[in-house]
Amino acid sequence: MIPFFEYNWQVRDEWFAWCSQLPEEELIRFRTGGVGSFLKTLFHIIDVEYSWIRGIQGKEDIVFDYAGYDSLEKVQSLSDRCRSEVIEFLKENREGRATDAVRVPWDDEKFTVGEVLHHLIAHEIHHIGQLSVWARELDLTPVSAHYAGRTLKPFVSYES
């Protein structure tokens, strides 16, 4: 499962680089579908991943206010900061906890760690697809979603 987190992070970083070509008004322009804009969608991906990982750990949810992350640089910085904590969690909690129960304050249902981790992977891939649609609507080539042929960065590459 860890290679899929590494894949998502690599693609996310490529989207940050891709988005740097857009003027701010295109980053924040409301679009149909998804969370509504390139910037809000990237923010949402990070926020959801971080909240669920903290939920698995039984830690209090930290609610990020989008208003405080109103630029590509701020959202990318949030991604880097949250990712380091997610990496530490994934290093410490390999597949052995997959069947452990998870309860989070924003949902009445009980899940397993494995279900949550799979959800996080699928959630980001889903939203990256939305970014790709919006890129094509702008007549721009989106970031490649191909998994095959990528050289993934192992966790140690993220820690430097």
**149 belongs to a structural domain:** no
Determine whether the annotation assigns residue 118 to a binding site. Answer: no
Determine whether the annotation assigns residue 127 to a binding site. Answer: yes
> Would you state the pLDDT for residue 153?
79
Question: Which pTM was predicted?
Answer: 0.93
**159 belongs to a structural domain:** no
- Kindly report the CATH number assigned to the domain that includes residue 6: 1.20.120.450
> Would you state the pLDDT for residue 159?
54
Domain limits for position 68: 2-104+113-144
> Which residues does residue 112 pair with via DSSP β-bridges, in sequence order?
101
Tally Cβ neighbours within 10 Å of residue 35. 18
**28 belongs to a structural domain:** yes
Using alpha carbons, select from 45, 50, 13 the residue that is nearest to residue 153.
Answer: 13
> Would you state the pLDDT for residue 15?
98
Tally Cβ neighbours within 10 Å of residue 31. 19
The alpha helices in 57-100, defined as continuous H runs, are: 72-92
**69 belongs to a structural domain:** yes
**70 belongs to a structural domain:** yes
Q: What are the angstrom distances between the C-alpha of 52 and each of 18, 112, 126?
A: 27, 11, 17
Domain count, the chain: 1
Determine whether the annotation assigns residue 146 to a binding site. Answer: no
**57 belongs to a structural domain:** yes
Please report, in tens digits, the pLDDT of each residue of the chain (160 residues total).
Answer: 889 999 999 999 999 999 999 999 999 999 998 899 999 999 999 999 999 999 999 999 999 999 999 999 999 999 999 999 999 999 886 657 888 899 999 999 999 999 999 999 999 999 999 999 999 999 999 999 999 999 987 775 555 4
> Would you state the pLDDT for residue 112?
94
